[in-house]
A = this chain, B = another copy of it.
Amino acid sequence: MIVLFTDFGLNDPYVGQMHAVFAREAPGVPVIDLFHSVPAFNIRAGAYLLPAYARDFPPGTVFVCVVDPGVGSARRPVMLQADQRWYVGPDNGLFEMVRRRATEYECRVIHWRPPQLSASFHGRDLFAPVAARLTRGELPDSEPVSHYPERRSTESMLARGELPDSARADVSWPEDLAEIIHIDHYGNCISGLRAESVPTTQAVRAGGEVLKYARVFSEVPPGAAFWYENANGLVEIAVNGGSVAARLGLRPGDPLTLIQP
């Protein structure tokens, strides 16, 4: 199974062009449009959403993940094998939380190149064909890398005569991210906090309001705001029958604060 996770949105030809590659190069393999709404260019938000959305997929799944503002630069294309799943995409930090939470993983830099590689759409030209090959049991030309993601200090780079690489990932991120990383269609605000790490006795402050835990929408009165563990294991805040984002004026990137009981 191939699973797509991008910041492409759905209004452009990009997703369809990737599907066309799969139809030709991995015929008969199911392709799932899991998520195309990572906030544009926001590698860090994608990094925290990916393991939450990926966790239910079976071994052997190939994820193609594209949040790639550095496309066309020196950033490396990689394929990460983690807990028997493949993740194909740019080496820019997008796979950081998958990697950290994996029981075992290996990262390979991709040397394979297509006959024609556009400067700006490696999702279609490089990552999709590599994913198709993986589902066919082939291992595209690649080699293991010892450091993943690539982290080099500015000093070490200058010492080697390299210019500091603006595409290099800074992934000094926390284990859980107390921040709104996606607002869904209903106005529910999804955070980068794993619910398993937050006792239900704790409250959450967002947009100046303090929200208590409830198991599910129907446990609070219509119009009431609360936090709960969403169906992907993340802390999410919501209003029963309404939009918590509209009510509290929340936007992606806004902080959530945990309040001790």
Contacts and interface: CB of A to CB of B under 8 A. Distances in A.
A216 B71 contact: yes
Contact of A12 (B124, B184, B218): B184
Nearest to A236: B120
A69 interface: yes
A215 B117 CA distance: 13
A119 interface: yes
Q: Count identical subunits in the complex.
A: 3
Contact of A41 (B20, B230, B241): B241
Given A27-B30, A121-B231, A11 B185 contact: yes
Kindly name the residue among A73, A120, A222 whose own CB sees the greatest number of chain B CB atoms within 10 A.
Answer: A120
Interface of A: 1, 3, 7-13, 15-17, 19-20, 23-24, 27, 30, 32-37, 40-41, 53, 56-58, 69-73, 118-121, 124-125, 166-167, 182, 184-186, 215-219, 222, 228-232, 240-241
Nearest to A230: B120
Contacts of A3: 16, 20
A71 to B, nearest CB: 7
Nearest to A240: B69
A125 B13 CA distance: 24
